[in-house]
Amino acid sequence: MASNEERKRCIVRRLIATAVTTVCAVSLGGAAVGEEHVGTDGPSIDVEIESNPVDGSDDGSTDTTGDADTGTTGPTIPDCVVENMPGVGCGGIDPNQEPDGGPELPPVNPADLGESVLDTMYLPSPKVSISPGPPNPTYVNLWTWFWIPESQWVPKSKSVTLRGTTVTVTVKPETATWDSGEGTTTCAGPGEQWVEGSPEESSCGHRYESTGSMNVSASIGWHATWTCSGICIADGGDLGVLEADAGSAQLEVRQRQSMVID
């Protein structure tokens, strides 16, 4: 069996660049100094192996790596064993080889992904609708209608996929919380829009007891849930109820004056 010294070898890779022959010689058993080049076949390194110059005149060598005009000879490269070693190139790594895989990633937690999706969803402030209302006043002891337009009372969904796990978050409007300026009330829906011929009272509104300028605001309570498809450790879950920023409007409340006519 060959000794370690006898098993010393180097890898020679010759790449043709434009009008230049770049020689890459790597000694697996000795020191080498390299300079990086880019050839037509990809990056390479010129490597100068530490070796004493050999005088060609002493042994009849015909090496002409030196200056042709002066006849001097330069350092010779030791004999090399050219081997096909997959995964090893001039830089020690074959650029065409896929890198070794790291540790296996844990499965995606769909509930956590759902929380992240919910944080990115835009929930607009509701438009506050009042009747009687701006630009007209309402009056003390008169039922004042509150509602949110049906166009804003619709579910919203958003999906995100991560490593084969797709999570869809859906938010649905459930309640509307109103601050009339005299207190708060929660309605189970958007309320009804007042139209000519409507009854005196609606499911959502307020009867004012005092006069003044009132700041009327409303916020929607959105119920959020998530579902999972693809690679899932759970099928779905609840993300709770959240409220978006409130919308508001100014309302003037007046007292009706009664007149006695004889």
Supply the pLDDT for residue 53. Answer: 46
Q: What angle do CA 153, 156, 157 make, to 5 degrees?
A: 165
pLDDT at 29 over 60: no
Q: What is the pTM of this model?
A: 0.59
* CB 214, CB 208: distance < 8 Å: yes
Alpha helix locations (H) across the chain?
56-59, 110-119
Supply the pLDDT for residue 74. Answer: 53
Q: How does pLDDT run across 201-255, given as a tens digit for each residue? A: 999 999 999 999 999 999 999 999 999 999 999 999 999 999 889 999 999 999 9
Q: Which of the pair, 124 or 13, is modelled with greater confidence?
A: 124
Q: Considering the chain, what is the average pLDDT of its residues? A: 75
Supply the pLDDT for residue 103. Answer: 81
Q: Compute the radius of gyration of the chain from its Cα atoms.
A: 41
Mean pLDDT of 183-190: 96
